[in-house]
Amino acid sequence: MPKLLIVDDSALMRKHLRTLFEETGSFEVRTARNGRDALEQIDAFEPDVVTLDVNMPEMDGLTCLGEIMASAPRPVVMVSSLTSEGAAVTLEAMQLGAVDYVEKPGGTVSLNIDGIRREMIDKVRVAVRAKPRRAHGLLDRVRRSGRAAVPAPRRAAPRVGWSDGLVLIGVSTGGPRTLEEILPDLPADLPWPIVIAQHMPRAFTGAFAQRLDKVCALDVSEVVGPTPLTPGRVYIGRGDADVVIERRLGRLLVNTIPSDTSLRWHPSVDRLVRSASGHLPGDSLVAVQLTGMGDDGAAAMAELRRSGGRTIAESEESAVVFGMPAELIKQGGATVTLPARSIPNQLISWLSRGSDGSRP
């Protein structure tokens, strides 16, 4: 039976979360009242997974996470408010190695805890099987987390001769950290735009796009409405909606539309890939399936490969959760399987033009 440590400064919240998980009969549970107490409990209890509140006295969640990942890495699920400040802190936690996050109930905890019951249990169960990854220079990163990031050097991306090709990326649990490993290694003159469906709440995607824009040579923005696709740019689908490719007056656009309620995850990877396949031939599309639970996008990417498209599945070696890429591989839909660190070079190789300017 996996061991779970619940860390929260609210006695009421600790009580309700402990009851929630003990009622499943699937966890041995202990609690801690702040980050400092959590570190002591981790040494004594050796939990398999930790839920960690962001705002706590004595030692906050971000500092505690840094200590955990530097000294005794294990899966951590952050519990955060979905405010702009909460989103920024949670994204920093994802980069530092947290596996996932859930929204902290507001108002009366006893009334609102049911609203996150299924999500909390599902994400903690997945986290138990996830592989935490230690970040380089982690404690230094925590100490300077409030400082502004230094923008990556940029140069003008090409605006002529675009061959109407497109890179599509699907990603879920563990995605923020993985995307921050891949996208900064891509050059500003990448000849095709990139559109990303990252399963994420609406309050997070804008902050995430801004964060990536600071560290990438490519321009990164959130999709908030119909937007012409341009080389040298990365488009992040708005959370709690779906992101699709459209063609208007002969020009390709990326757009955000209401989520399809028949689908479980949003922005939907499946819907993004199918919409792109409806407007571009297979050999003009490259699809990348990264870390995440479930199978969103696997069937659509497998169909894309059969129609002449190229696909990359992140390997089990680097995937925080191997569910989505594993399903793509299972369906025979992966052209290549690579660890995250090797994906930028593969994309650059595939998208490089010949000297005659022919299609990659």
Residue type, 122: D
Residue 215 has what DSSP assignment? H
Tokens 């404690």, residue located: 139
Pairing relationship of beta strands 251-257 and 227-228 according to DSSP bridges:
antiparallel
199 is catalytic: yes
> In angstroms, rounded to a whole number, what is the distance separating the alpha carbons of residues 297 and 126?
19
296 is catalytic: yes
Beta bridge partners of 253: 228, 246
User: Who's near 15: CB < 8 A, 6+ residues apart?
Assistant: none
Residue type, 283: D
Tokens 């708005």, residue located: 238
Beta bridge partners of 28: 3
Given 199, 268, 270, 275, which residue is catalytic? 199
Given 242, 296, 315, 318, which residue is catalytic? 296
Q: Tell how many helices (H) and how many strands (E) occur in the chain.
A: 13, 15
User: What b/e string do you get for 66-87 counting C-beta neighbours within 10 Å, with b at 16 or more?
Assistant: bbbbbeeebbbbbbbbbeeebb
Long-range contacts of 38-44 (CB under 8 A, 24+ apart): 38/5, 38/7, 38/64, 38/68, 39/64, 39/67, 39/68, 41/5, 42/5, 42/68, 42/72, 42/74, 43/72
Please give the C-alpha separations between residue 239 and each of 142, 172, 197, 222, 268, in angstroms, as whole numbers: 27, 12, 9, 9, 10
Given 80, 81, 172, 277, which residue is catalytic? 172
172 is catalytic: yes
162: three-class secondary structure by DSSP? coil
Point out the residues that are catalytic. 172, 199, 296
